[in-house]
Amino acid sequence: MKEWKGMLGEKEYVVRELTIDHVDDIFRIQDIVLGSLENNDFLSPLTKEEYEGSIANRLMVGVFVEEELIAFRALALPEIDEHHLGFDIGLKAEQLDKVVYQEITNVHPDYRGFGLQKKLGLIVMELLDASPYSHVCATVAPFNIASLKDKLSQGMVIGALKKKYANMLRYVFYKKLHEDRKLGGEVLEVKMEDTEKQQQLLAEGWIGTSVMQKEDVWYVTYDEKGTY
């Protein structure tokens, strides 16, 4: 089994694929993280069945310090139904079985500030580069800046902004695997709070490609989509 190693301050960590034996530890971390959040709307916890599905498909990695799980990141093969994120980014029904979701990242509060979420993002993208999947999708709440930056740092783009998961507003991110996006074209900056303007641009075929803060106001940069 492949491993990735590094340092968290003076402590060494190792990243490896998780197995069914880690389920109890996964829930321990999830409960700790949920208890530390000021805004629980930012995190949609997964069920035991969902974690077991990710593990069975070899789509889950964890970070260990002295053999203790301190963080994890899960991908998942979603159920194909009318709520599938592939529909939100314009895919056809016959393409949906090649779509994988970025589901969740949890980092123990004691180990925040080391960029673990980004490190794990790069590792799961490495795994996906060698996979048969065509697209990776994810959802992020507006103003969840850390998660927005995390997805963008992996080359994902915003393809939709709509209500998902019990009527909560979410950006729908995606990335085409095995294909690079061509840059160029017109660029617009829109206030993150301006939902209607963003939805208009997305409906016209624009994609969100970055976020920035100017004088305490957050903006999303939109590019002409082109063929991506």
Give me the pLDDT at residue 39, please: 62
Query: What is the C-alpha to C-alpha distance for residues 18 and 22, in angstroms, rounded to an integer?
Result: 6
pLDDT reported for residue 64: 97
* pLDDT score recorded for residue 193: 97
Say which CATH topology domain 3-138 has.
Aminopeptidase (3.40.630)
| pLDDT score for 189 | 97
Q: Residues 8, 13, 19, 21: what is their CA dihedral angle, to the nearest 10 degrees?
A: -90
Map residue 210 onto helix, strand or coil.
Answer: strand
Residue numbers of the chain with a pLDDT score lower than 70: 1, 38-43
Can you give the pLDDT at residue 180?
A: 85
**Sheet with 217-224, side-by-side order of all strands:** 3-8, 11-17, 60-65, 68-76, 99-107, 135-140, 168-176, 157-164, 206-214, 217-224, 187-191
> Do the beta carbons of residue 105 and residue 70 sit within 8 Å?
no
